[in-house]
Every structure is written in C-alpha cells, then in structure tokens.
Amino acid sequence: MAPKKTFQPLNFIYLGDDEMRRRAGDFSRLMHRRRSVRDFSTEPVPREVIEDAVRAAGSAPSGANRQPWHFVVVESAEIKRRIRLAAEEEEREFYQRRASEEWLNALEPLGTDAHKPFLETAPYLIAIFLKKFSNAENGERLKNYYTAESVGIATGMLIAALHNAGVATLTHTPSPMKFLNEILGRPVQEKPYMILVAGLPAEGAQVPAIGRKPLDEIVDFI
Ligand code: IYR
C-alpha cells in the first residue's frame, strides 16, 4: 500500500521588499565575515549552542525527505586525541605521498600541513556521517536519494548556524576517514562525510590573506 499523502498549511511569512532587502544585505555581510579557522582556543562553548546549530542543520531539505545524515559531537578529550592521531597518520600520507604536486601547490596559500593540533584544542569535533540507507520502521532497508547534495546542504546550514552564533569552524576532511566509524562506533553503511571543528579562535589567530570572488564573477542574470 502506498504511503498516505497528508498536507498542511505552509505558514509562510511574507516580509515585503524593504525587509527582504535589509535581511538579505545583513545576512550576506554576516556570512562574508566567516573564515575557516585553524587555530582554536580551548575555551568552552555552551553545549546548547551546538545543539541548536545541529537542530538548524537538521531542517535542511533532503532527497525524499530521508534526512540522510547523522552527527556525532565529540567533547571527550580522549576521543578527540584518538581522532587526531588517526587523522594525522592519513594526513602524513597525503602530504608525503598521495597528493599531486598540483594539489600541494593549490594548498600552498593556506599554509596547511599534516599537523592537526586543532583536533584536540577545539571544544567540539562534529563528525558528520552520510547515510546511503535508512532503516524503515518495519526494519527494512530504505534507499536514500541525493545523499551527497542533502548532507552538503545540511553541513552548510550547520556552518552558517554556528557562525551566526559566534562559533568558528573548520571543515576538515582527512582522507580516507574510515577510522571515524571505528572510533565513533558508527555502522559501516554510514559514510564519514566531514569533521567540522567548532569553537572559539585562539587569541591572535591569523587566517590566510585570501579573498572571495566578487558577485559578477560568480553569477549571471539572464
Ligand atoms: N585534508 C588535508 C588537505 C587539504 C585539502 C584541501 I582541498 C583543503 O582546502 C585544505 C586541506 C588537510 O586538512 O590538511
């Protein structure tokens, strides 16, 4: 039997042109102040802030509304240490062998290397998993759709929510990341998608002097 369709009123809030313009400008300026941070303070951030940000991420659109994501928020110093050790092992391989000359040149302006102290100093590591399949209520395996797109959108919303709350982040993707399943006890059908490092920047933290493309380089209105 096909699942039943049920609809309800949208409850859309119409803002009007002036308010739309104001909010669009404010949001764009807010987002342009976001920078990826690699030098974190050990200063704590309230857990409710992370909970609300993950709640916001969980409102993302997803293929067939399957919500094919799972977040593991790591606060434990011991687990952060295990993640750091495993990630640095992969990163050493990456920087010494796996990365092409072209790739290493592209990373040069960022000044990154295999050394990842932020995986221990930041108060939170948010491990994001992508679920190719979900479990139906009757225990059957349900295929999910557009999982990379869905989890990418949710991750973007998580980054925006944290930034809006004054929390700095770093998208970190040691490759391969299979070690996360083992350390965090997640099932094999969940694919580690990204580690989002979250916290406050260390005092005097510096970021690469790189900019963003202007609007006319990234959009055409036709
Ligand atoms: N995962 C490595 C390398 C790296 C790759 C890209 I593409 C970046 O934008 C930044 C880093 C690392 O974290 O150092």
pLDDT at residue 20 tops 70: yes
Q: Whose CA is nearest to atom 7 of ligand 1?
A: 107
Supply the CATH number for residue 102's domain. Answer: 3.40.109.10
Residue with tokens 């557009």: 146
pLDDT value, residue 143? 96
Structural domain contains residue 1: no
Structural domain contains residue 75: yes
Quick one: average pLDDT of 38-47? 98
pLDDT value, residue 4? 83
Give burial (CB, 10 Å; 0-12/13-18/19+) of 57. Answer: buried
62 Cα: distance to centroid of ligand 1 (angstroms): 27
pLDDT at residue 2 tops 90: no
**What is the distance between the alpha carbons of residues 28 and 160, in angstroms, rounded to a whole number?**
11
Full residue range of the structural domain in which residue 144 is found: 37-202
pLDDT tens-digit profile of 118-158? 999 999 999 999 999 998 889 899 999 999 999 999 999 99
183 Cα: distance to centroid of ligand 1 (angstroms): 21
44 Cα: distance to centroid of ligand 1 (angstroms): 26
Structural domain contains residue 190: yes
The token pair at 44 is 């704590």
Structural domain contains residue 48: yes
pLDDT value, residue 147? 98
Structural domain contains residue 20: no
pLDDT value, residue 139? 87
Quick one: average pLDDT of 13-21? 98
- Percent of the chain past pLDDT 70, that is, above it, reads 99
* Bridge partner list, 191: 130
Structural domain contains residue 96: yes
Structural domain contains residue 207: no
Quick one: average pLDDT of 79-101? 97
- State the total domains in the chain: 1
pLDDT value, residue 3? 67
Q: Mean pLDDT, the chain, as a whole number?
A: 97
pLDDT value, residue 1? 54
Quick one: average pLDDT of 8-35? 98
23 Cα: distance to centroid of ligand 1 (angstroms): 33
Q: Whose CA is nearest to atom 8 of ligand 1?
A: 107
**What is the distance between the alpha carbons of residues 48 and 77, in angstroms, rounded to a whole number?**
19
Distance of CA 173 to the CA centre of its chain: 10
pLDDT value, residue 195? 98
Question: Which residues, including other chains, have CB under 8 Å from residue 64's CB and lie 6 or more apart?
Answer: 144, 145
Structural domain contains residue 32: no
Query: Would you give the DSSP letter of residue 172?
Result: E
